[in-house]
Structure 1
Amino acid sequence: MATKLTKAQYEEVARFLAQVPPTRQSLRKLRERFPSQSQSTLLSIFSQEYQKLIKRTHAKHHTPEATEAYYQSKLLRSFSDLCCKYQGQHECGAWTENNRYLNGVIKNAASPVLLDLANEVDFAPSLMARIVLEKFLQEQEGSIPSKTLINSMLRDPSQIPDRILANQIYQCTVNDYCYGPLVDCIKHAVGHEHEVLLQEMLLEKNISFLAEDQLRAKGYDKTPDFILEVPVAVEGHIIHWIESKASFGDECSHQAYLHDQFWSYWNRFGPGLVIYWYGFIEELDCHRNRGILLKDCFPTDIVTL
């Protein structure tokens, strides 16, 4: 299946994604709408487009008004305490009426109240969970919690002292397809897998190289994944280094990589090759003559020098 897309094809996919929510059902519809495209390519675009949406709307979800609306201080009490304290009291109904989270968990403690709220306001479930957890810890401790503690509890919700909130946090993290600790682990594993795959291909071709960890040991602070000890030629272009990207190369991410990484590699080590394993927009491969070549797979026509 195709992995490289023209700009027009990519924009068609992006327009489709702008009209659907970031759910598994939408991903299924995306595959049905574009059957000729690689599923991995579509999944990567799906994730990247959703991340762009979250970045555009991130600020509005972190205003004091928004965070207070998502979280009420009284929701931090354990479910059992709430039931004991307010059971049979008339004012309980009036109090819970405007508290979306509390009203939901009192009706059904296992219901995905936070997850539903995140989906309703088009916010990443894991990020919604982070907001609520941070305010919970802040009230418990009386001070702003450290990022280390928050990250640890998001990775392992069993550490959260409120069991109802722990379950809500868990539901958010396991149902978030673009953010959160599970997604981070998957992305890290996939990225490492493709680096290992690239290394094995280089070894099969008897191409000598220095890997990133070897380069760091030599004192380099910013390096590509592999520097070739003897340059090779690919499609008539000399290659000194290769960078592996287990993602789709859209215009936004590629421009960021050019600015933050690729041109720095070019300045230090000469021309190189970037492999976007899940494809890229064809028009972005426009810097070949300047020394940056794009491919969506390991080259088959390598010429050793």
Structure 2
Amino acid sequence: MNDRLNSVRDIPRTSKRFKVPEDVLYSIYSQKMVRRTKRDFYLIQRQSLTMLREWRNGKSLLEIAEERMFSPILTASFILKNDGYTKKQFKDLLHNPDSIRDDRFRKEIIDILDADIIYSPQGIENQKNRGIFCEEQIKYWLDDREMEYCTEEESRALERSKTPDFLLKEPYIMDGKSIRWFESKGSFGSPYQTRYDYDNQLSHYLKLFGPGLVSYWLGYVDDISMGKEIIMVDRRFFQNGC
């Protein structure tokens, strides 16, 4: 299924074929593209002059990006930088495409904005809002049970270097474990993503505060485990009133 997700247009038909919700596939696709961006960034950047020639010869920005299976926004940024655009000018294009006078150029900028759900201004805003929404659902769940906690911002004010989203003031007993913290992830827990999160965040919380719970809002691969002291849940845990 992962191999079928190479552009945002692949999501609806993949959802229909595999009976997987589109929001889950958006998350899986986003993670795949972020990994690919990290891997191929400098390789694609070195092709900037070649891509500029292709664009001047008639290929669209989106076509050039899709041929390389790379972010349309970042691809366009490489091309237009070599065409004389500053970072500010490029940012202005993304935020105000309707102000572009040239019909072809305006359409191409709108096309890359629609195609890039990760690095476009709207994509970045959507990711931010999804993260806020998922944290709010955990907050409502904790508040409904009158559980006291320090938020990440409050913990940082106390100069704690590693801070989960919610650090409980009293442990919450679940499955025989004394849960000390809750961490919200508004994404799908793929093998790569869960390993990355464990190595960079969750293992530190475990050492500092003890057992905890991490929520992958859009689900996770069933056979993944983070050990006996970190419980994994998805949105159903909070929606079903557990």
TM (norm. structure 1) is 0.70
**What is the CA–CA distance in structure 2 between the aligned matches of 1:245 and 1:256, rounded to whole Å?**
12
The answer for unaligned runs of 5 or more in structure 2 is: none
Alignment of 1:171-190 (within 5 A): 171-190=111-130
Identify the residue that residue 67 of structure 1 maps to in structure 2.
Answer: 48
Question: Which residue matches 1:33?
Answer: 17
1:130 and 1:154 in contact (8 A); partners too: no
Where do residues 1-305 of structure 1 align in structure 2 (5 Å cutoff)? Answer: 13-17=1-5, 21-24=6-9, 26-35=10-19, 37-63=20-46, 66-71=47-52, 99-104=53-58, 113-136=60-83, 139=84, 149=88, 152-153=91-92, 155-157=94-96, 165=105, 168-288=108-228, 291-297=229-235, 298=237
154-163 or 207-216: bigger deviation: 154-163
Whole-Å Cα distance in 2 between the matches of residues 172 and 30 of structure 1?
21
Given that 1:209 and 1:227 are in contact with CA atoms closer than 8 Å, whether structure 2 keeps it comes out as yes
Distance 1:271 1:102, change over 3 A: same
SS of corresponding position for 1:31: helix
CA displacement at 1:151 relative to structure 2: 7.0
Deviation at 1:296, TM superposition (A): 1.1
| Amino acid in the other structure paired with 2:33 | Y
Partners of 1:150 and 1:60 in 2: how far apart?
24
The answer to whether the Cα contact below 8 Å between 2:11 and 2:22 also exists between their aligned partners in 1 is no
For 1:9, the equivalent position in structure 2 comes to none
> For residues 235-292 of structure 1, what are the alpha-carbon distances to aligned partners after superposition, in whole Å with 9 as ceiling and x for unaligned?
222100000000011111111111111111112111110000111112222412xx21
Kindly name which structure, 1 or 2, has the bigger radius of gyration based on alpha carbons: 1
Query: What letter corresponds to residue 223 of structure 1 in structure 2?
Result: T
Q: Distance in 1 between matches of 2:96 and 2:40?
A: 26
> Structure 1 residues 151, 227: CA separation in 2 closer, same or farther (over 3 Å shift)?
farther
Quick check: 2:93–2:100 contact (8 Å CA) kept in 1?
Answer: no
Conservation of the 8 A alpha-carbon contact between 2:72 and 2:112: yes
Q: CA 1:100–1:277 in structure 2 vs 1: closer, same or farther (change >3 Å)?
A: same
Task: Kindly provide the amino acid, as one letter, of the partner of residue 69 in structure 1.
Answer: T
> Cα 1:217–1:154, aligned 2, differ >3 Å: closer, same or farther?
farther
Change (3 A) 1:206 1:154: farther
Query: Deviation at 1:158?
Result: 5.4
Query: How far did residue 69 of structure 1 move?
Result: 0.9
What amino acid sits opposite 1:59 in the alignment?
Answer: Y
Offset of residue 150 of structure 1:
6.4
Aligned residues of 1:133 and 1:150 also touching (Cα < 8 A): no
Q: 1:238 to 1:155 in 2, by over 3 A?
A: farther
Q: Distance in 2 between matches of 1:296 and 1:241?
A: 16
The one-letter amino acid paired with 2:82 is K
The structural deviation recorded for 1:216 is: 1.5
Say what the alpha-carbon RMSD is for the aligned residues.
Answer: 2.7
Q: What's the TM-score, normalizing by structure 2?
A: 0.86
1:18-61 per-residue CA deviation (whole Å, 9 max, x = no partner) reads xxx3132x1122112211x3332222112222333333333321
Unaligned runs of 5+ in 1: 1-12, 72-98, 105-111
Counterparts of 1:150 and 1:216 in 2: how far apart (Å)?
Answer: 36
